[in-house]
């Protein structure tokens, strides 16, 4: 069983990884894995929003579904159990980001808002940003109603990330929708890495809310500047 996934798109003084059930989002286990203190990890209070939080010196719990920072020695992360965990790194400005993109976040263009905020606060340029999308529920397993599909399409535009399903249902690939949004912002295709793993298809490796029909646990995506 894989314990963690290190996207090979990141390099330099950045460490980034996605966890499986083994580490999940257990802060103590992740701290032991990284050999750091609990205070060196920051997770936002996720509420399926499209809010982007800029992490400075404070550590107060904050409602947001994306975090960006240029602080060294801090790992930022998000927790998921079917939604898309997205990690970002501006290699020129040395800025990192972590995004939780469920269907509401995707419909709210959270990846676009994160990129815009990186530009506004840290003067990041899209061509210098690399992005990794971790394991999430994929096209053949994520069935939604038309209103959900329409909300995502309104934010993303047409594409191959959705297919019509019998009885007025649709299959949607949230990861691919977020890739399309990132590309529309100027992110280079060669700077994007996307996991092929489907959380629903691999319930022994990943937590899947839809598979388990309950919230039994979450894995995560974490990134830090060393």
**pTM to 2 decimals?**
0.97
Residue 59 has pLDDT above 90, yes or no: no
- Are 85 and 52 contacting, i.e. CB atoms less than 8 angstroms apart? no
Q: Which helix or strand (DSSP H or E) is residue 105 part of? A: helix 103-107
What whole-number percentage of the chain has pLDDT above 70?
A: 99
Average of pLDDT values for 126-141?
98
- Are 191 and 129 contacting, i.e. CB atoms less than 8 angstroms apart? yes
Candidates 34, 42, 28, 142; CA nearest to 98 is: 42
Over the stretch 17-41, which tens digit does the pLDDT of each residue have?
999 999 999 999 999 999 999 999 9
- Cβ-count burial of 61 within 10 angstroms (0-12 exposed, 13-18 middle, 19+ buried)? exposed
Q: What is the CATH number of domain 4-137+187-213?
A: 3.60.140.10
Residues 169/175/179/182 CA torsion (nearest 10 deg): 100
């Amino acid at each position: 069983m894989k314990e963690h996934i290190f996207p090979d798109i990141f390099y330099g003084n950045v460490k980034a990884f996605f966890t499986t059930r083994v580490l999940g989002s257990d802060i103590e286990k992740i701290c032991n894995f990284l050999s750091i203190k609990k205070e060196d990890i920051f997770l936002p209070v996720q509420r399926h929003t499209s809010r982007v939080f800029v992490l400075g010196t404070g550590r107060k719990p904050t409602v947001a579904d994306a975090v960006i920072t240029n602080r060294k020695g801090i790992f930022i992360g998000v927790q998921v159990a079917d939604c898309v965990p997205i990690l970002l790194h501006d290699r020129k400005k040395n800025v990192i980001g972590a995004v939780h993109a469920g269907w509401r976040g995707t419909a709210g263009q959270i990846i676009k808002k994160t990129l815009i905020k990186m530009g506004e606060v840290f003067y990041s340029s899209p061509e210098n940003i690399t992005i990794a999308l971790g394991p999430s529920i994929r096209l053949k397993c994520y069935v939604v109603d038309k209103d959900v599909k329409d909300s995502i399409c309104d934010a993303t535009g047409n594409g191959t990330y959705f297919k019509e399903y019998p009885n007025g249902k649709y299959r949607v690939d949230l990861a691919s929708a977020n890739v399309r949004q990132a590309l529309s912002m100027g992110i280079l295709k060669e700077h994007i890495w996307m996991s092929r793993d489907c959380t629903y298809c691999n319930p022994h490796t990943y937590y899947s809310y839809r598979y388990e029909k309950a919230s039994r646990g979450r894995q995560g995506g974490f990134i830090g500047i060393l």
